[in-house]
């Protein structure tokens, strides 16, 4: 069963919103609205995605796990992009796993429809290639960031990148999850959070970082934050990483796939 998503939903994805009307008309009947629950895993490494996901709200972290069990965030995806790039890059299997960092909604599109539109070699292909370049920049900078910058700088960057992809001034993020994403000890995040709180940059309560002074937080973040943001703004015509503001409206459609049954990045049963 499929549900045709109204055009107003497409506007909540900056990647889809940048496409011309004829592409919208071709793709619109094939999208399915799905719910993304915090902590939910979207597929596993080396599995072949069955569908691609265009987030409308919320944040998904791409996490790489090492053979010894250690893991860390290598990229972040919000409504500026999609999950499932291997489908159009020819590699099929996902090298990372997606973990929902902040709950939200997304539009799922089948592998066949995604590849068919990409192979038309039109605006859709050009937009996805530019997005791929932006993602490569993000991954490259985060690798260097995690090696050379302090936990406080990394945490500030993580909060800011998340804030840019959600609505409002609060980022749902536990210190434990932040430590997992940064690949550091929980105690390090606790100490860094305390310094940010003392500086008046954020207020911390259970499971939430509330940004009180964005400029102050930006001053404590490393240069990687602005470098990633600038590259996205340069490459993507409708760059949607300025999410802080009024709360997002809840999509007015029923959810086809509840969180436990999600299979957008996992092989079909």
The verdict on residue 154 lying in a domain is: no
Q: Which domain holds residue 254?
A: 7-149+225-261
CATH value at residue 253: 2.60.120.10
Residue 5: predicted pLDDT: 52
Distance of CA 95 to the CA centre of its chain: 16
C-alpha–C-alpha distance, residues 161 and 63, integer Å = 15
Provide CB contacts within 8 A for 187, sequence distance 6+. none
Burial class (CB in 10 A: 0-12, 13-18, 19+), 131: buried
Tens digits of pLDDT across the chain (269 residues): 344 456 788 889 999 999 999 999 999 999 999 999 999 998 777 676 679 999 999 999 999 888 887 888 999 999 999 999 988 887 767 778 899 999 999 999 999 999 999 999 899 999 999 999 999 999 999 988 988 999 999 999 999 999 999 988 999 999 999 999 999 999 999 999 999 999 999 999 889 999 999 999 999 999 999 999 999 999 986 554 454 444 444 444 444 443 333 343 333 33
The verdict on residue 195 lying in a domain is: no
C-alpha–C-alpha distance, residues 34 and 258, integer Å = 7
The alpha carbons of the chain give a radius of gyration, in whole angstroms, of 18
Bridge partners of residue 55, in order along the sequence: 106
**DSSP alpha helix (H) spans, the chain:** 7-10, 14-17, 21-27, 86-89, 111-118, 123-148, 151-163, 175-182, 186-198, 214-220, 223-235
pTM comes to 0.84
The verdict on residue 115 lying in a domain is: yes
The verdict on residue 200 lying in a domain is: no
Whether 223 and 159 have beta carbons less than 8 Å apart is answered as no
Dihedral sign, Cα of residue 233, residue 235, residue 237, residue 241? negative
If you search the block for the tokens 């049963």, which residue do you land on? Answer: 269
Q: How many domains does one find in the chain? A: 1
């Amino acid at each position: 069963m499929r549900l045709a998503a109204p055009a107003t939903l497409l506007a909540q994805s900056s990647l889809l919103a940048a496409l011309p009307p004829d592409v919208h008309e071709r793709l619109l009947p094939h999208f399915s609205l799905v719910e993304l629950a915090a902590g939910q895993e979207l597929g596993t490494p080396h599995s072949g995605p069955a569908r691609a996901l265009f987030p409308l709200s919320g944040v998904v972290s791409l996490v790489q796990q090492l053979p010894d069990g250690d893991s860390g965030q290598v990229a972040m995806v919000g409504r500026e992009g999609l999950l499932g790039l291997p489908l159009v890059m020819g590699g099929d299997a996902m090298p990372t796993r997606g973990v929902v960092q902040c709950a939200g909604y997304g539009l799922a599109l089948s592998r066949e429809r995604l590849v068919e539109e990409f192979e038309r070699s039109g605006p859709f292909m050009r937009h996805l290639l530019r997005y791929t370049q932006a993602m490569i920049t993000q991954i490259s900078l985060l690798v260097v960031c995690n090696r050379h910058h302090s936990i406080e700088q990394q945490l500030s960057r993580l909060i800011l990148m998340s804030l840019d992809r959600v609505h409002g001034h609060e980022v749902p993020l536990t210190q434990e999850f932040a430590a997992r994403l940064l690949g550091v000890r929980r105690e390090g995040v606790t100490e860094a959070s305390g310094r940010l709180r003392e500086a008046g940059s954020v207020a911390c309560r259970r499971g939430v970082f509330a940004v009180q002074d964005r400029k102050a937080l930006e001053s404590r973040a490393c240069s990687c934050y602005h470098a990633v943001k600038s590259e996205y703004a340069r490459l993507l015509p409708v760059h949607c990483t300025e999410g802080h503001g009024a709360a997002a409206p809840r999509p007015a459609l029923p959810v086809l796939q509840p969180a436990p049954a999600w299979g957008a990045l996992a092989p079909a049963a």
